[in-house]
């Protein structure tokens, strides 16, 4: 359970040709208040407890402070430059097989981002249930349990958002990543991405302060 399972997240760097389900531009808060609100590194325990109730298991967070930070907490260069501390965990399904990773990055006192990457094969929906469980747990633990009330982006539920992204991606050529950005749930920005990696599909959720 404590072994690190590295799923390269360079694939989440979206090109200009990416498919956008919701064409929104998100902006970063000023550096002065970047770390002053929102989730903390301790909130990973909330995610772990929530996932265990669904028979999905998460390892103890492992700190990363050296040059390998980019393997776990890289989103894009302007954010990576603000990250000096990162923790990563491995997540496994009920059968003990790897699902992917959940990582948080920022400064030792507070994270500025969290990211979950789940590998699905041979089809984009092969891990559909696990994707929905992990992403819903992250959003409710790190942002709020208020999606049904606020319905950001016009989606009535987290599941509806994920389903819409999957349909859009399946109907596309699948040669470019799909990106869907949602604001308005809390102070954080949520980014959902689907892309291909060799013979697998990678589902990514980013929670960004």
Residue 190 resides in a domain: yes
Q: Give 16 or 81, the one with higher predicted confidence.
A: 81
Look up tokens 């249930």; give the residue.
Answer: 129
Q: Cα(98)–Cα(190) distance, rounded to whole angstroms?
A: 24
Q: Cα(172)–Cα(166) distance, rounded to whole angstroms?
A: 10
DSSP letters of 151-190?
-GGG-SSHHHHHHHHHHHHHHS-SSS-EEEEE-SSSSSEE
User: Is the pLDDT at 165 greater than 70, yes or no?
Assistant: yes
Q: Cα(97)–Cα(95) distance, rounded to whole angstroms?
A: 6
Residue 107 resides in a domain: yes
Residue 2 resides in a domain: no
Residue range(s) defining the domain that contains residue 189:
10-208
Give residue-wise pLDDT tens across range 25-49.
433 334 444 445 799 999 999 999 9
Residue 84 resides in a domain: yes
Residue 4 resides in a domain: no
User: Is the pLDDT at 10 greater than 60, yes or no?
Assistant: no
């Amino acid at each position: 359970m404590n072994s690190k399972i590295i799923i390269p997240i360079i694939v989440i760097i979206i090109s200009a040709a990416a498919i956008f389900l919701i064409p929104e531009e998100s902006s970063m808060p000023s550096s002065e208040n970047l770390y002053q609100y929102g989730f903390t590194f301790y909130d990973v325990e909330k995610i772990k407890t929530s996932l265990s109730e669904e028979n999905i298991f998460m390892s103890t967070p492992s700190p990363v402070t050296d040059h390998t930070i980019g393997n776990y907490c890289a989103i894009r260069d302007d954010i990576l430059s603000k990250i000096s501390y990162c923790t990563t965990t491995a997540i496994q399904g009920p059968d003990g097989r790897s699902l992917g990773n959940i990582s948080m990055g920022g400064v030792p006192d507070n994270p500025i981002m969290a990211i979950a990457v789940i590998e699905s094969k041979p089809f984009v929906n092969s891990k559909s249930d696990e994707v929905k469980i992990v992403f819903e747990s992250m959003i409710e633990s790190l942002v709020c349990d208020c999606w049904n009330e606020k319905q950001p982006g016009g989606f009535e539920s987290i599941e509806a958002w994920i389903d819409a992204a999957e349909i859009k991606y399946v109907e596309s050529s699948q040669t470019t990543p799909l990106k869907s950005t949602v604001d308005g749930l809390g102070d954080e920005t949520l980014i959902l991405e689907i892309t291909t990696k060799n013979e697998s599909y990678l589902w990514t959720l980013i929670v960004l302060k």
